[in-house]
Every structure is written in C-alpha cells, then in structure tokens.
Amino acid sequence: MSSPHRPRSSSRQPPGAQPSASATPIPPIRASSSFDKGLPHLPIIIPTATKVSSGLEESWAGPYATVATSDPRIERPESGGRDGWGQAHWSSSPGNGNGSVDAAAGIAQFDPPSMELRPTFTPSGQLGRVKDDPQNNQFAEAVMKENRPLSMTPPGAASAAGPVLESPIVSQAGVSVAQLPAAPGTGNPPVPFGLQVRTPAFEQLAMVQQAISDANELPPERESEKEKRLDQAWVELSGLLRNGNLEAQYFLALEFAKDSKWDEALKLFIMAARNGHAPSAYQAGLCFEHRRGHSTPNSSYARKMYSQAASVGYLPALYRLVEPNIRPGVGASCMRAATELQRREEGVDGDYLAVLLETAGEAGYINAWTRLGNIFEHGLYRVVPDPVKSYRFYRKAAERMDGEAMYRLAVIFEKGELTALVDVQRALKYYARAAERGVVGAMNRMGEVVEHGQLGVGQDIPQALQRYKEAAKKGSLDAMHHLARIQAGGLYGVGGGSESALAVFQKASSENNADATFALGSIFEKGQYGIPANIAESLNNYVKAADLGSAKAMIRLGRAHELGNLGFTVDVNRAVSYYKAASDMGDVKAQFLLAGFFLTGGSWMVRKSPEEAFKLVKKAVDGGCTEAEYRLGRLYESGTGTPVNMEKAMLLFRSAAQRGDSSALRKLNDLASPFTSMTSS
C-alpha cells in the first residue's frame, strides 16, 4: 500500500480518465516577457500572505515569492472576503459531478468526523501490508452532493467563547503562546517549511504522542494497562481537537489513514486545511486524487487543495499543480530543499522531509528513494521507523538501478532484515549488481563471498584478491584489512610479509584517506600484521587522521589525553576539545563521552548541565550507541536532566542486559530483589 501521507503518483488523474466537459484547461502563464527566452516558467501562484498598497499586490520575499498579476486565468485566493472553506475565495473552477464547486462554496460540504472509535495507534513497525481498497470506507455519493456545512470542530466541541478543555497531560507542558514563534507556512513573512517550530500546538501534541509511545512500549502482560493509556490519549487528542489544535488534527488524520479509515482521515485533513494547515491541504489533495475517502478521483477538488498548500510555499503541492514539462524543475527544488534539511542536525520536520524526497523520487532523483528507505529504517529526523515503507523505498530505488539501494537490499536478504526472509540467491544477485556499480561495501562483500565460498558460490581466490584490490582502491578499509591479512600471513600462496601488508594502508594514507591513516595509527599502536609497536609513529598517524577529519582519531586522542597514555599527561580540557569536535561531526560515541563532562562539570570547557548531558546521551542511543543504553537508563531512573521514568529505564536496562552489559544485569537484579523478598515473605 502507498503511504497514507505520501504521494503515490505524479499524475493528477488516472490513465484513461476523461476530463469534465465543462472543464477549461488553464495554460501556464509566463511571469514576464523579459524572461521569455523559450524556457518553461512556472504558473504564477500568489501567496495568501500579500500586502495591498495603492492597488498593487506585493508578494512576500523568499524562495516561494511570486510575481503579482491580474491575469484572470491564475488560480489564486482573492484579496477580499472568506468563504466556507476557511480561506480567501477561490477563483471559479468547474466541478466534475461530485458536488457543487464555485467561487462561493469552494469544496463540497462534508459531514464532520464521527469521533466514535479511536484509531488503533499501532506502531508502524507492527503493521503489515494494508490493502489500498478504494471502495473501503468511502463517502456515499449522496453525502458528497449534500450542501450541508462541515463543522470546524468534532461533535461536542466547545464554542469559541467557551472554556479551554483542561488536560492532565497537556496542562503539564507549560507553554506560552506569546513566547513561541509561528508555525511553518504562517507569520509575516511566512516561516519556511521543513523546520520543527515548537509552537504551543506542537508542544501539546508532543505530550500526547509521548504518552502513546510509552503505552505502546508496555510488555504484552500489561495489555489492559496499555489499552487504558491509549484510551486516555484518545481523550486528550479529542480535547486538543476541540480547542482547534491543527497539529493534533493532522496527526489524528494520519493515524486513521494508517488504519485505512480514509473517510475519517479525509474529514480531518479538510478540517485542518480550512484553518490554513498546508500539510493537511496537501494530504486532502492526495485523497481526492487517489480516491481515498472519496468515491471517485476528483481533479478539481485535488487542484484546490494543492493550490492552497502551494500558495504558502509547500513545494510538493506545487509539483502536483504544474504542467508535466515544468515538474522536473520543481522536483529539483524539492531535492535541493531536502538536501539542505538533511544537513541540519536538529529541528528538522521529518514528515515534510519525507514528502520532499518522495516528490523528488517521482521527478527522477533515484537516490531520493534510497534516502527515504534509510530514514524509515532507522527512524531518522523523528520519523517513526517503518520496515515496510523502508523496504518498499529501497526496492523502488533498486528497480531504477541505484547501487546503494541494491547493496542495502543484499544485506536485507542475506540477514532476513526488515520485512524480508533470508534469500541468499537474491542477496548474491544484489551484491553482484551493486558491486558492478562501484559500491565499495558490495565489492568488499563479493570478495569475502568468493574467498570463503559463501552464499552458494564456490571458492575463487584470484577473483577474491581482485575484488579486494578494487575495493581498496576506492577506499574500503575492510578490503585493506583483508589484503593486509592475506599478505602478512602468506595465505593462498601470496607472499610479501608484513611490509607488503603495511604498504596497503600507506598507499591509501598518502592519498589523504582519513580512515586508512587512522588504521595505520592503530596498527602501530597494537603491533598488528607483524609490525612492531611504535607509539611515536602511531601518534603521528592519529594526529594526521584527526586533521583529515577522522572522528575515530579524535576520540582516540581524546581518550589519550583523558587517561594519560600514548605519551600524554592527563589533560581533560584537551580531551573535551577532541570529544566536542567529533561530537559536532555527529559521532555518537563522542556524544556519549562528552555527556559525562556535562554531567560532572569536570572541565572548564563545558558548563555543568544535567539537561545537556541527558540530551547527548539520548542522542547517542538514538544514533545507535548501544554502550550508552545503560547510562541513559540510569538518567531516567534518577531523574537526572529529565523527569523520572522507570518504564523507560527498565526497557533500556533490559536492552543493555541482552547485549551482555554486566552493569545492566546487576541493576535488574537489584530492582527485582525487593519484590522477590516481599513475595517470599
């Protein structure tokens, strides 16, 4: 099934569909004759945030600024009045028989969402493939044609003048509307999309989302407690909806879509879109385009939804609005915007990033699918991990001959990861194809396969050596170690000894390969491959590797200064400087080590801050640093830098204990002993 909140097709109408007889095509408008040099130009869309001065429209500056025009063919909000859609009047556009569409009525009226049953709130990783049945949970045609107004809030909502619903979860957030910035797509000028702006609506929803996440992490034996907590979260969400929280409406719509309840999802998308929520308008457009919650495709409704989102700079909506010959340019803008967002470490809106990348993928940027697979596999940018989506995106990229996606699929099929079963034949095929496209990991793995006769392939030493040499030339550290191992040990009749083994790394180091230079430092420190230990030579290579940007070398030098080895005296300040440099590069182990100094204040280079220590340790764990799990559990247990949360602490202790962490095992035994003594007594 296509993602409930991602585009599936670049066409706004299915193949063979006939446009309405009354529909009048709107040709693209060129911005200015001075730019008319035979190059395509985007249709002009005027943002809703415009100034009116002396009869001239002045659009806001920025990447989505547009040229003002009075051309009647341009679909844009007019400067005066507001209609039942909650936005400025739309320019007239004929309907297609599924409801009245005119300038005064906008979109046909819908019943409000029933809000009778809550969504399952099932984590995406536990969902199987869901059938995208267009006839399931659809609106009846009679409902579509009724001209009854859609309430802006669910049944039982408080009036605008009524009291704000008190919430035992949300009331703890303590956010102030006056102290927080505007949401993306709003403000003066509009805040750009892609940034996680912590508005009051965002903070309130985050509290409820955390409660849902905590409930879903409860073990199976506490199923009844889990359901009670999810019911409470449902009550909280209903309260946020009554108070007009657009972020909550959008989140709830996505949860209903995840359960294939598209009728409820579409109604919530429309509710939020009417109040100016651009992502909801975009999702409503997708629903109208792909018959989700609507009986037939409706290009007119979809266009209005996309126009509303595009008018405030929502790039994916603009992509779906423009003519096919213009789409490559908008797709390129989506890819550039996604690349810029991925360069940020924090504050990225993962949902918008994913939509940008999928749009770029539709526009022909194949690597965008691979990036999406990685995001949904590892839950990057606060995106909920989803193995089904991850696998599907890798497959899309691999089908379009992306080498990195082929390599990832090879690992998936070899180890049976994500949603795949172990399939060595498919793994071998993907490894071979990825290696043909120069993916160094695949080239090295193919060398291992033919050296040891794995994956059903016979042993072929000459081919293995050739694979290793090719991978080493491309910078594969693993391949260098394989060659050094073979050379030093004289395996397979290959001579050369330790000097030849060392030459493998020295050649790469001379070409400023940071990883190979760090490996040389480690070889000289430990005396590997028959090379005598040489601390001075080791230190020289570590320093060179750090200068070349090796985070591992920075950490090793930091540890040397912290512990006083490699010829250094103890200097914690120098150690912190190395840890901070590696942490700034995103190294999770460096983040974990740096957190200790924020926790104790053991260096004048950092100010003691339990909150900063907690953030760094959590970032390290989220990034895959398993050795930080026990420490994060201790912080949750003691409430250091974060509120006490024994449930999360126990989950982390169990995870660390399963890896063999002795401290975590002792902690679990200590926590269990009082209950054991009580039971025995």
pLDDT digits (tens, 9 = 90+) for 502-535: 998 999 999 999 999 999 999 999 999 989 999 9
Higher pLDDT, 469 or 148: 469
Distance CA 333, CA 603 (A): 45
Nearest to 320 by CA among 262, 359, 277: 359
What is 570-681's CATH number, 1.25.40.10, 3.20.20.70, 1.10.10.10, 3.90.550.10?
1.25.40.10
- Contact (Cβ atoms closer than 8 angstroms) between residue 361 and residue 334: no
* 3 state SS of 681: coil
pLDDT class for 197, splitting at 50, 70, 90? Answer: confident
Nearest by Cα to 414 from 373, 440, 445, 393: 445
Spatial separation of the C-alpha atoms in residues 453 and 294, rounded to whole Å: 55
Q: For residue 331, is pLDDT > 70?
A: yes
The tokens describing 120, both together, are 């399952």
Instruction: Average the pLDDT over 56-84 and give the result.
Output: 30
* Confidence at residue 189, expressed as pLDDT on a 0 to 100 scale: 55
Q: 137 pLDDT exceeds 50?
A: no
CA distance 262 to 285: 13
Cα 449 from Cα 414, distance rounded (Å): 12
Q: What is the mean pLDDT of the segment spanning 9-17? A: 37
Which pLDDT score, from 0 to 100, does residue 114 have? 66
User: Residue with structure tokens 């803008």?
Assistant: 333
The arrangement of secondary structure in 403-474, i.e. its CATH architecture, is Alpha Horseshoe (1.25)
Residues of CATH 1.25.40.10 domain(s) within the chain?
A: 403-474, 477-549, 570-681
Q: What is the mean pLDDT of residues 38-62?
A: 29
Q: What is the CATH number of domain 322-400?
A: 1.25.40
Query: Which range (41-55, 168-182, 396-410, 583-597) has the least confidence?
Result: 41-55
What are the two backbone dihedrals, phi and then psi, of residue 59, each rounded to the nearest 5 degrees?
Answer: -80, 155
CA 650/CA 631 separation, integer angstroms: 12
User: Is-contact 632 617, C-beta < 8 A?
Assistant: yes
Where residue 185 falls among pLDDT bands split at 50, 70, 90?
low
More confident residue, 621 or 93: 621
**Residue 366 vs residue 40, higher pLDDT:** 366
Between CA 675 and CA 662 the distance in angstroms is 21
User: Which residues does 72 contact at the CB level (< 8 Å), separation at least 6?
Assistant: 91
CA–CA dist 193, 111 (Å, integer) = 30
Tokens of 594: 């740096």
pLDDT mean across residues, the chain: 76
What are the residues whose beta carbons fall under 8 Å from the beta carbon of 81, sequence distance 6 or more?
88, 89
Interatomic CA distance for residues 210 and 106, integer angstroms? 37
Tens of pLDDT, residues 277-300: 999 999 999 999 988 887 777 788
The answer to whether 384 and 213 have CB atoms below 8 angstroms apart is: no
Q: Collapsing DSSP states into helix, strand and coil, what is residue 195?
A: strand
The residue with greater pLDDT, 651 or 135, is 651
Outline where 99-216 has alpha helix (H).
141-145, 200-216
Q: d(Cα 69, Cα 249) in Å, to the nearest integer? A: 34
> Per-residue pLDDT averaged across 615-636, rounded?
92
β-pair partners for 57: 52
Residue 107 has pLDDT above 90, yes or no: no
Confidence band of 385 (pLDDT split at 50, 70, 90): confident
Tokens 């009724």 — which residue? 146
Give the lowest-confidence range in 83-87, 417-421, 422-426, 461-465: 83-87
Residue 67 or residue 388, greater confidence: 388
Q: Decide if pLDDT at 134 tops 50.
A: no
Q: What is the mean pLDDT of residues 222-235?
A: 90
Average pLDDT over residues 597-618: 91
What distance in Å separates the CA atoms of residue 637 and residue 644, rounded to the nearest whole number? 6
Averaged pLDDT for residues 465-470:
94
User: What is the pLDDT confidence band of residue 123, given thresholds at 50, 70 and 90?
Assistant: confident
Q: Distances from the Cα of 198 to the Cαs of 195, 202, 381, 619, in angstroms?
A: 9, 6, 15, 19
pLDDT of 71 over the 50 cut: no
Nearest of 579, 513, 527 to residue 552 by alpha carbon: 579
Contact by Cβ (8 Å): 603, 596: no
Mean pLDDT, residues 542-556 taken together: 96
Name the CATH code of domain 477-549 (choices 3.90.950.20, 2.70.150.10, 1.25.40.10, 3.40.50.920): 1.25.40.10
**Residue 126 — pLDDT band, cuts 50, 70, 90?**
low
